[in-house]
Structure 1
Amino acid sequence: MTASDTTTPDLSWLNDVTMAQLERNPYEAYERLRAEAPLAYVPVLGSYVAATAEICREIATSPDFEAVITPAGGRTFGHPAIIGVNGDIHADLRSMVEPALQPVEVDRWIEELVRPIARGYLAKFEDDGRAELVAQYCEPVSVRSLGDLLGLQSIDSDKLREWFAKLSRSFTNAAMTKDGEFANPQGFVEGDEAKAEIQAAVDPLIDKWIAEPADTAISHWLHDGMPPGKTRDREYIYPTIYVYLLGAMQEPGHGMASTLVGLFSEPDQLEQVVDDPALIPRAISEGMRWTSPIWSATARISTKPVTLAGVDLPAGTPVILSYGSANHDIGVYEAPTRYNMHRPPLPHLAFGAGNHACAGIYFANHVMRIALEELFEAIPNLERDTASGVEFWGWGFRGPTTLHVTWEV
C-alpha cells in the first residue's frame, strides 16, 4: 500500500475481522474502513473492499474495471451469471432480461400482478391482530411476484423462499484461508441442493417452453433475439435464473421489511406515510439506503494497473463493492445510521451503478410500493411488537430476520 500522505494507517486489526462479525453487524468494521482506508484488503474475504460512496461509484463506472463474480458467488451460481460477465455475453444476457423490466412494459402489468398477491397474503392474517411480517408478508409477496413473472406459478412460495435463503447462505460463504481456499467448503452444500431442486422443477417447464413459447420471462429468455427455430441453451441461462432466484427475490422483500423497521423507529414519519400513501416511494428509497438489501455482493476486477485511494492495484485485482457501507458514508449523508425519509433526495447505491446496475430497479420499487400501499390500507394502526427485538443479518445480502407487529382488530 502507498499512502497518500506520510502516515500509513495500521490496518492490522483487519486480521481479526471474522465472517461471523460481518454477518451479524458489518457496520462497525466498515465505519472504521471508511475513516482509515476506504480501499483495503480484508483477509477473511481474500479480497480488497471499497467502503465509501466515492470509491464504490468510481470503480463501478470506471473503464479500468470490469465485472467479476466473487469466489463464493461463482461457486454458487456457475458461469455465465449475469452479474459477473462482460462484453458480448453480458450484452446478450442484458438484452435477454431487460425487455420485460423496462418501465413502459412493467407499467403494463405490475398492478395486475402484485396487488392481488399482496391482498391474498394480507387476507390470511389481517384479522389476527398480530403477525411476523418478514415470513408472512414481505418475503412471500416478493417471491410470489417474481416467481409468477418468471413463469414459476406451480412452485410454492415457501419453496421459493427456501431456495433464496439457501442460495444466499451459499453465495455469502465467503471466508477464505490464507492459502486462498474456501474456509468452509461444506457451506456450499445447501446451495447445491437448492440448485438441484431448481433444475428438477424448472427443466420440465423449459422443455415445454422450447416447444410452446409462453408469455413468461424464462420463455422469453429462451427465445427472444434467437434465430427462428433456435433457443438459448438452458445451461447458459441457469446461472442467471439462480441470480434472479436469490437477489431479485430477496431484494424487494427485505427492502420493504427494512423500510418498515425504519418507519417504526420514527413514529411521526410512519404516521405521515399511512396518512399519505404518495410518500411511500420516498420511504422506500430511504429504507433501501438505510439498510441496503444487496449490501456487499458485487465485485469488479481491474483490467490494468490502477492507483486508487492511495492503493496500487495490479491488473487482475478483484474489489468487492460494499454498497451498504457506501450508503452510510458520512461524507454524503448526514447522520446516516438514522432512518429519515425527509433527508435531501441524494442518490444511493442500493441498486448499484454503471453498466452492471440492477436491471430490475423499476420492478423492485413497484413491488415494494404496492405491497406497502396494501399493508397500510388494510392495517393503518400497525405497530411494532416491542416484546420482540428486530435482528438484522447478512453481509452480502442484509435484512431483518423477523419483524413482529401488532394492531387492534
Structure 2
Amino acid sequence: MTQNAYDLWTPAHRANPRPLYARMRQEAPLVRLVDPVRKMPFWLLTRHDDVVALLRDGRLAKDSRKLSPERRAYFFRLSLDELTRHMLNSDPPDHTRLRSLVSQAFTPRRIEALRPRVTAIATELMEAALARGSVDFIDAFAFPLPVIVIAELLGVPVEDREPFREWTHTLLVPPTNGDLEPVKQAGMNFVQYFTSLLERRRSEPGDDLVSAMIAAEEQGDRLRADELIGMLFLLLVAGHETTVNLLGTGLLALMEHPEQLERLRADRTLMGTAVEEMLRYCSPVETSTTRFTVEPLTLHGQTVPAEELVIAGLMAANHDPEVFPEPERFDVGRTPNKHVGFGFGIHFCLGAPLARLEAAVTFELLLERAPRVRLAVPPEQLEWRKTAFIRGLEHLPVTLGG
C-alpha cells in the first residue's frame, strides 16, 4: 500500500481519523509514512498490543544523540537542542535521574492538594464565560485553565501565557508550506525566555517549581543549564497542551452523546471513569513522540532497519476492538479501560494526575453551572488541528445556557 492510501493529514481524516485507523489495524498494522509538513519518514504502529510493546521495548531509544550524525541530520533538519534535553527525549540512566528530580512535584497527593486552587481558577473562568452566554470554549476556558495552573506551579507570570500559546502552536503545528523559519524563531523565543527566567530565579528564589529544580540535587547531580531549559519547556508545553485538548474534545464528545451527558449528570460518581473514557475515545495526544531503532526490528513480516523512527498510534490503539468492546461507543462508565492516552512504560505522562484533576473539576463545574451546554455551530464547521500528533480543536463555539 502507498502512503496515499493512509493519508492521515487530509481534512476528512483530521475531522475523524478513527475509520482510517481501523483500516490500518486490519491492513497495515505497521506502515511507513512521511509527515507532509516536516518531510520526515516514520513507521507507525496501530494495534494496542504492538503499541504497548513498542512503548516498553528497550530496542528503541529516545535520545537522538544515539543516531549517527548523518541520520540525525536527516531526521532533524531543524535543530532545537536547547529545548530537547529533557526526560521525554532521554533513556535510562539519564531519564531516571531527570524524572526523579521533578516527580516529587507531581505525586497524586501533591496534585490533589491543588484541587482548591484549580477549582477557584476554573470557577472564575466559568463565571466569566456564563456572563457572556456564548463563547469559544477553547479560548474562554480550555486554554487558560491549565496554562494558569502550570504557570503558577512554575512561577511563570500568567500574563506571558499568550506568547506561550503562539510559540507552542507553531512548534506543534508547523506551517504547512514547509517554511521552518517560524518554528526556529518560536524555539529561540522559548530559549531566551527560560534563560531569563532562570537567571531571575537564581538571584531571587521563590516558592515555585523552577526554584526547586534549580536547587534540586539527586545523588549529588544537579540539573545542567541545558537540562533545566529543556525540562521547563517540557513541563510548560506538556503541562497545558494535553489538557487543553482533553477539555475541548471531551466536552464535544459529551455534547455529541447527550445520553452519556445525562447519565453523568445523574451519577457524578462516574466522573473518574468518564475522564478515562475521554482520554481513550478522544485521545488528545493522537500519536506518541518519536523513538528510533538501535537495531533492526521485525514485525508483521516487515523489517524496520536500524536508525529509523517509529511512532505509536495512541488513538489507533485506544480504538482496538481486541481490547475495547464496541470501541466506537462513547461510554462514561467503561471499565476496565486500558487506554494508552497518557502513554505507557517509563515515559508515562508525569502530569497525568494534574490533567485528570483539571478535567474532573471542569466537567463537575459544567454539569453544575451549564447543564444545557450545547454546540453553537454545526459539527462540520469545527476546525481540527492539522497535525497527526495532537488531537484537538482550534475552536469550540458553545452556548452555555438558555
How would you bin the TM-score normalised by the shorter chain? 0.7 to 0.9
Identity %: 23
Q: Distance in 2 between matches of 1:156 and 1:124?
A: 20
Q: Could you say if the C-alpha distance between residues 124 and 159 of structure 1 is closer, same or farther in structure 2, counting changes exceeding 3 Å?
A: farther
For each residue in 1:28-85, what CA deviation from the matched residue of structure 2 results, as whole angstroms up to 9, or x when unmatched?
4433221112112124441111111111101111232232569469745644232121
CA contact (8 A) 1:149 1:217 kept: yes
My pick for the range that moved more, 145-154 or 23-32, is 23-32
Letter in 1 for 2:394: T
1:227-306 map, 5 Å: 232-306=223-297
Superposition TM-score, scaled by structure 1 size = 0.85
My pick for the range that moved more, 97-106 or 19-28, is 19-28
Q: Distance in 1 between matches of 2:264 and 2:6?
A: 43
Kindly report the root-mean-square deviation, in angstroms, between the aligned alpha carbons of the 2 structures: 2.7
Q: Secondary structure at the match of 1:48?
A: strand
Matching residue of 1:399: 392
Verify: 1:211 aligned to 2:203, yes or no. yes
Q: Secondary structure at the match of 1:396?
A: coil
For each residue in 1:386-405, what CA deviation from the matched residue of structure 2 results, as whole angstroms up to 9, or x when unmatched?
44643333310111222222
CA contact (8 A) 2:264 2:332 kept: no
For each residue in 1:161-180, what CA deviation from the matched residue of structure 2 results, as whole angstroms up to 9, or x when unmatched?
2232222114xx7x9xxxxx
CA contact (8 A) 1:168 1:246 kept: no
Matching residue of 2:363: 372
Matching residue of 1:220: 212
Q: Distance in 1 between matches of 2:8 and 2:264?
A: 39
1:103 pairs, out of 99, 102, 108, with 108
1:377 offset after TM fit, Å?
2.1
Q: Could you say if the C-alpha distance between residues 201 and 308 of structure 1 is closer, same or farther in structure 2, counting changes exceeding 3 Å?
A: same
Q: Secondary structure at the match of 1:400?
A: coil
Letter in 2 for 1:378: R
Q: Distance in 2 between matches of 1:156 and 1:52?
A: 40
For each residue in 1:105-127, what CA deviation from the matched residue of structure 2 results, as whole angstroms up to 9, or x when unmatched?
2222x113311211121121212
Q: Secondary structure at the match of 2:238?
A: helix
Unaligned runs of 5+ in 1: 1-10, 176-182
Matching residue of 1:65: 60
Q: Distance in 1 between matches of 2:184 and 2:290?
A: 22
1:19 offset after TM fit, Å?
4.1
2:2 pairs, out of 12, 26, 32, with 12
Q: Secondary structure at the match of 1:332?
A: coil
Q: Secondary structure at the match of 1:273?
A: helix
1:145 pairs, out of 149, 169, 185, with 149
Q: Distance in 1 between matches of 2:335 and 2:77?
A: 35
Letter in 2 for 1:123: E
Q: Could you say if the C-alpha distance between residues 154 and 253 of structure 1 is closer, same or farther in structure 2, counting changes exceeding 3 Å?
A: closer
For each residue in 1:232-281, what CA deviation from the matched residue of structure 2 results, as whole angstroms up to 9, or x when unmatched?
33322222322233232111111021111111111121122234333222
- How many residues are paired up? 385
For each residue in 1:271-323, what CA deviation from the matched residue of structure 2 results, as whole angstroms up to 9, or x when unmatched?
22234333222221111111211111412223333322222233333211111
Letter in 2 for 1:61: R
Q: Secondary structure at the match of 1:209?
A: helix
My pick for the range that moved more, 330-339 or 89-98, is 330-339
CA contact (8 A) 1:59 1:300 kept: no
Q: Secondary structure at the match of 2:129?
A: coil
1:209 offset after TM fit, Å?
1.8
Matching residue of 1:361: 352
Superposition TM-score, scaled by structure 2 size = 0.86
Unaligned runs of 5+ in 2: 65-71
CA contact (8 A) 1:76 1:167 kept: no
Matching residue of 1:390: 382
CA contact (8 A) 1:163 1:246 kept: no
Letter in 2 for 1:104: R
For each residue in 1:120-149, what CA deviation from the matched residue of structure 2 results, as whole angstroms up to 9, or x when unmatched?
211212122212111111111121111111
Matching residue of 2:68: none
For each residue in 1:328-374, what CA deviation from the matched residue of structure 2 results, as whole angstroms up to 9, or x when unmatched?
21222233233222333221011001111111111111111112222
CA contact (8 A) 1:306 1:314 kept: yes
Matching residue of 1:119: 123
Matching residue of 2:92: 87
Letter in 1 for 2:89: G
